[in-house]
Amino acid sequence: MIDRPVAFSDAVSKKNENSEVANLINPYRLPEAFNRGDSKGDRTPIQWSESIEDKVREARENGKPLVVYFTIEGSKECDWCRAMDTSFKDPSIGALAGKANFLKVALRDGVENDSMKLARALDIKAFPTVSVLNIEKNGQVKEEARIIGYQSGTTLKANLDKAINQGNKPEQLGDKALVA
């Protein structure tokens, strides 16, 4: 068993081995409840979008922050990403739906696309990561907050609320993430 987080970039660089992110071994095991998800939490009114261009335009026009959730596609390969998916389904997170724009950026192993370019531009090195951006009318982008690693629904809601309403940086958790 590996005794440290496995780097996303390590998996991508090993050409002779099976480099599927799904085969990464995450040494931090989660309770079985996280693996099942929470069907009660599926009622969240957050409208996720995967169109970077549309959400950036929308955030610029309506003046609301852009909450960007970086994860690994499918989340099967990252236990903490799957747990964070469950956190975002917490009904308390839905209260933030009218206060911000929400963008989910799911990265795929070895695929160079706009999602990967955005992750590089923001220097995202661990998964899951949530970045709260303010996009000015003139197109200037300012990162107001970054949440690194898994947070429970209650903690995530409190930190996002703080970041959206006050621009304060929430606590960063780096020990519960897949590190790149």
Q: 72-90 pLDDT, tens per residue?
A: 986 567 889 989 999 999 8
Q: Is the domain defined by 8-26+38-179 classed in CATH 3.40.30.10?
A: yes
- Cα 34 to Cα 107: distance, rounded to the nearest angstrom: 21
pLDDT value of position 6: 36
| pLDDT for the residue 74 | 62
* pLDDT of residue 29 exceeding 90: no
User: What share of the chain has pLDDT > 90, as a percent?
Assistant: 39
Residues 46 and 90 sit within 8 Å (Cβ to Cβ): no
Tell me the whole-structure pTM to 2 decimals. 0.70
**Alpha carbon distance 111, 136 (integer Å):** 30
Of 42, 102, 117, the residue nearest 69 (C-alpha): 102
For 151, list phi and psi in degrees, rounded to 5.
Answer: -140, 145
The pLDDT assigned to 48 comes to 85
What pLDDT was estimated at residue 75? 55
The phi, psi pair for 159, rounded to 5°, reads -70, -40
Question: Which residues are CB-contacts of 53 (< 8 A; sequence separation ≥ 6)?
Answer: 114
Beta bridge partners of 107: 72
Q: Measured at the alpha carbon of residue 150, what is the angle toward residues 153 and 142, in degrees to the nearest 5? A: 90
Give 90-148 pLDDT, tens digit per residue.
888 988 988 999 999 998 876 778 889 999 999 999 999 999 999 988 888 899 999 99
Mean pLDDT of 23-32: 40
Identify the pLDDT of residue 179: 46
Sign of CA dihedral 175, 52, 62, 139: positive
**Alpha-carbon Rg of the chain, whole angstroms?**
16
CA 98 to chain centre: 19
Ordered by start, the domain boundaries in the chain are 8-26+38-179
| pLDDT on residue 126 | 92
Report how far residue 103's alpha carbon sits from residue 71's, in angstroms, rounded to the nearest whole number.
11
* Residue 145 near residue 167, CB atoms below 8 Å: yes
User: Which of 38-47, 53-62, 125-134 shows the lowest per-residue confidence on average (mean pLDDT)?
Assistant: 38-47
Give residue 155's pLDDT: 93
Q: Which of 19-33, 85-99, 142-156, 159-173 has the lowest mean pLDDT?
A: 19-33
